[in-house]
Amino acid sequence: IISEHGADHLGMRELADASGVPVATIYQYFGNREAVIATYFERESEKLDRAMANAFLELERVDMKTVVDTIADVHVKHHRENPAAVSVWFSGRAGFEVADRVRQQHASLGAWLRDGLVGVGLMRPDAPEDCCALVVRLFDRTFEFVFLEERTIKEQDEIINMHKTYATALL
């Protein structure tokens, strides 16, 4: 339902009707609509994490620019291929469960990025712990700005490329 129509069209009754499962059974697994959306977000995050790992394995050389470009490009591709996920990723944060999963995703990606940069010698081990988390959050806000407004692909790319330059300099 979320993938086809967006999170706004998800209700427990609609989920029951679409799945052929009684509403009471759905409530045994999900306490409310927000829990369903949070689970959807988690599944999308896992797909994104796998795509990110695969993209990094394909890199021929690793420098700050390729790291930043890869992170941004994987996210852009995911958001463009999954427009319904964009509404969950950015608009669906009103509820605690989704907002908490977003925070966990940011922290995880920030730590992963920092560990990777330190590991390949692109960042000093004594760099501030939160520097990569800040870049992740700034990218997230940029993507929100880019994808929640009606923009052409060219306009989206211009904004994202500008942010890539800033993020590379920041790191």
> What confidence score (pLDDT) does residue 93 get?
55
Confidence of residue 92 (pLDDT cuts 50, 70, 90): low
Give pLDDT tens digits for 2-18. 888 878 888 999 999 99
* Mean predicted confidence (pLDDT) in 87-107: 78
Give pLDDT tens digits for 35-89. 998 888 888 889 998 999 999 999 999 999 999 999 999 999 999 998 888 877 7
Q: What is the mean pLDDT of the chain?
A: 89
For residue 155, CA distances in Å to 77, 137, 162 come to: 15, 21, 11
> What confidence score (pLDDT) does residue 146 get?
94
Confidence of residue 91 (pLDDT cuts 50, 70, 90): low
Give pLDDT tens digits for 23-35. 999 999 999 988 9
Contact 120, 62 (CB under 8 A): yes
Name the one residue in this structure whose structure tokens are 């990094």. 56
Q: What's the rounded Cα separation, in Å, for the pair 74 and 54? A: 10
